[in-house]
Amino acid sequence: MALRALLAGGLVAALGVGLGVWASSGQGAGTPAGSAASRQTAGTSVGAAAVPPAAPTPSRSYPLSTAPRTIPAVRSHTPARGPGWRPASTRRVVVSDAGLADEGRLIAGELGLAYAGQKNDVRAGDLRLALNDDEGANPESYTMTVRGGRVTISGPSDAGVFYGTRTLKQEVHGGGTAPEGVVRDQPAKPQRGFTLDIARKYFSPAWIEDRVRELGDLKYNQLGLHFSDDQAFRIQSDSHPEIVAARHLTKAQVKKIVDLAASRHITVVPEIDSPGHLGAVLAAHPELQLRNASGVATRGAIDISKDESANLLDDLLDEYAGVFPGAYWHLGGDEYQALTVSSPSASYPQLAAAARARYGSGAGVADLTTGWLNDRADTVRAHDRTMRVWNDGFFRGTSVKPASGLVVAYWTGKEIGARPPVEYLAAGRKMLNYNDEYLYYVLGEPNDFAYPTGRRIYQQWTPRVLRGTTPVPAKYDAQILGGSLSVWCDLANSQTQDQVAAGIRMPLRATSQKLWDARTPQLSWAQFTALAGRLG
């Protein structure tokens, strides 16, 4: 308000002596209205009329900048007046800390800038990346300041600085110029994921790498790989090569994916689902197949009463802990078919006997299954991982309780004996949102699944909507760590890789927005879609 009054007063004074201060789009970018030159011209008095006035000095008055348009949207932007910043091949990327070299080289290559390394000098047009010592700040937060023809992106960690470079990249690609002012930004949820079922359908390494780049630009930080199921086991194994499908990813290919993900601050989260969904493993080990009292094989289920079953799974868990060095692991635990019959103990007497032998006379098959997951958790815990289990791997009324550190990956309320999300939250469990009502992209749309739409996610879903369409109370928000959009390949040939990429494009963007900021978005869906098209 004060600045507008000053400008108006200067214009009145100038008109009083027949002088004008003219805005010029081609000159005077460094001489904004209100500068010394402007004030000198405007201050000529009537009494000095005999003295020829000085020639008008062209100046440029910039409007207040507007917030950058990005996906996800930035949470805070303080506008300012100025030309903003745009990249040029003569401009540098410099870092204040050698640990930001990877982020610096990446954004330099993306924007066509020169990477100059760690420098303390200041030059016109610089993009500077820096770490700050903001204790207690969200480690993924960042501040981006566009001022004086330069850009500075700072954060408490390299991850935060990286997210700042994603914002800058989108600003430039979407509008050509990063607007003047200060962005302060941070995610609402610490875990923002995309899960891909590569067991039922083979996806090429190049396709997965393209998704990693897409996820990084959208500020996701996890990629889940479900690589073992009834249809195939898709990653090279040295401990059990007999279980691996002919068409699979080599460990070298996986390492390339993991390294690319790490460069984008994305953790790859592996999942070897057990004790169900092990059909591909059991095809090579039929002696471990679960059979009912009549000797009929139970699809995908391993016989957890046998020590050899546990040994096989632990071999795999130990082996792949070296392939996936990230902090998280998915143990699976869903849809163990022994627990879907009316009387598990009668149908599977060997499981009931093993439960009683290990846990006492009152124990049942659900106790044995819970113990199985706890034992696998012990194996993975030795590798210092935080583990998650599908919600239908947690059972009511068991004497054996799931390990306290297991995070509930909540995907459905449709299973037999489904427990509502609040039941887990009230018990103090932390949860991740995989809500199959909004976030499940199931190829072929079997079992009443429908392909999720970005619009529905954008307009209706939040991380608190864990089951169906109803959010849990706000008091539990901090226990919900984040969520994941998931691709499941039940009918693998229903879509090609390219069709999957196109189909998940807007759901990925909408989910990213809601995990970064769960509040009602400022843009309409039409505006959001148009922005996505502009950003590419």
Instruction: Say which of 103, 140, 171, 335 is annotated catalytic.
Output: 335
| CA–CA gap between residue 146 and residue 152 (Å, rounded) | 7
Burial code of 514-533, b = ≥16 C-beta within 10 A, e = fewer?
bbbbbeebeeebeebbebbe
Nearest to 97 by CA among 70, 124, 133, 72: 133
Nearest to 122 by CA among 145, 151, 97: 151
Q: Can 180 be counted among the known catalytic residues?
A: no
C-alpha distances (whole Å) from 347 to each of 83, 370, 430, 468 are 74, 18, 34, 32
**CB hemisphere CA count around 346 (13 angstroms):** 4
Residues contacting residue 221 through CB under 8 Å, at least 6 positions apart:
140, 159, 190, 191, 192, 193, 265, 266, 267
- Max CA pair span of the chain: 116
| CA–CA gap between residue 98 and residue 117 (Å, rounded) | 8
| CA–CA gap between residue 19 and residue 294 (Å, rounded) | 103
| CA–CA gap between residue 430 and residue 389 (Å, rounded) | 11
| CA–CA gap between residue 12 and residue 23 (Å, rounded) | 15
Q: Token digits for 202?
A: 């083979």
Q: Angle at Cα 190 formed by Cα 147 and Cα 129, nearest 5°?
A: 25
The residue ranges of DSSP E strands in 84-180, in sequence order, are 92-95, 114-118, 127-131, 142-147, 150-155
CB 377 within 8 A of CB 338: no
Give the orientation angle of helix 349-359 with respect to helix 365-381, to 10 degrees: 60
| CA–CA gap between residue 477 and residue 127 (Å, rounded) | 37
Neighbours of 173 (CB within 10 A): 15
CB 399 within 8 A of CB 360: yes
Q: Angle at Cα 503 formed by Cα 499 and Cα 507, nearest 5°?
A: 160
Residues labelled as active-site residues:
335
